[in-house]
Amino acid sequence: MATSPALLFPSPSSASSAPSSARVEAVVLFNVCDSYVRRPDQADRVIGTLLGSLLSDGTVHVRNSYVVPHSESADQVAIDIDYHHNMYASHQKVNPKEVIVGWFSTGFGVSGGSTLIHEFYSREVQNPIHLTVDTGFTRGEASIKAYISSNLSLRDSQLAAQFQEIPLDLKMIEAEKAGFEILKSTMVEKLPNDLEGMESSMGKLYILIDEIYKYVDDVVEGRVAPDNRIGRFISDSFASVPKLSPAAFDKLFNDKIQDNLALVYLSSITRTQISIAEKLNTAAQVL
């Protein structure tokens, strides 16, 4: 007698109210990267708790995070649960509206021990998300992904957990985007100072102005069909620029440059003074 093959399917209880997408603030990513740099020498990756809220449209808004000490081997994971609970209790006193929404880990994709850690956070909150940040630049950049987990079951028996990627939105302002672009690149030898950052911004602005000029010229010559929406954008952009004479603009720009040079000079003096103080303190301790 022939029998139909058994089918594996997600558990309905776990898939019914699972988050549909995730939105992550830039401070969370910077905190993850900083915790990875400060990790113990023997640690391959760091993990931590994600804090935020669940929006009405099913999006998880991650606003904050903190690292949780842990150790893991091929077949087991140990998490400092007391530290996790103490940190969460302290955070609740400062911002009670931010609750546990999931956890993060550094590394590319989901690893073997992720299932055990996700099981722990599933007891802390229903349907937690798992955020991964590839600080090792496996594919040439810092890949960032968000996952949810569903239980694979055979009839009434749960066999395993399946991680599914969900859409991820990185919420950043322009200044944070600039910093994140620097972190994504593997060719950066040092962070740019104010003058180098201004030079880079002016170069990008010049490229954009040149593209707008070419577009307007093509429309006037009839090579490109006009788009009223783009025309309104260009008009609004020019209307937002204050009317300054060339002399007034040069004075304003030069004053800003002088302010930046003064800040660079003062910071250099401060670093030199701190270095001298450290050397004198070291010499005094030796004597």
pLDDT tens-place string over residues 14-64: 444 677 788 888 888 888 888 888 887 777 888 899 999 888 888 889 889
Please check whether residues 158 and 41 belong to one and the same domain: yes
Confidence of residue 175 (pLDDT cuts 50, 70, 90): low
**Percent residues over pLDDT 70 in the chain:** 77
List the CATH number of the domain containing 62: 3.40.140.10
Query: What b/e readout covers 65-81, taking b as 16+ CB neighbours within 10 angstroms?
Result: bbbbbbebeeeebebee
Query: How many separate domains does the chain show?
Result: 3
pTM across the whole model: 0.56
43/167 same-domain check: yes
Tell me, yes or no, whether 110 and 225 share the same domain.
no
pLDDT exceeds cutoff 60 at 109: yes
**Does residue 184 lie within any of the structural domains?**
no
Phi-psi region of 58 (alpha: psi -120 to 50; beta: other; left: phi over 0): left
pLDDT digits (tens, 9 = 90+) for 196-217: 667 777 788 888 888 888 988 8
Confidence at residue 179, expressed as pLDDT on a 0 to 100 scale = 62
Residue 9 belongs to a domain: no
Q: Looking at the structure, do residues 157 and 207 belong to the same domain, yes or no?
A: no
Asked if residue 6 is part of any domain, the answer here is no
Same domain, yes or no, for 163 and 265? no
Q: Same structural domain for residues 148 and 232?
A: no
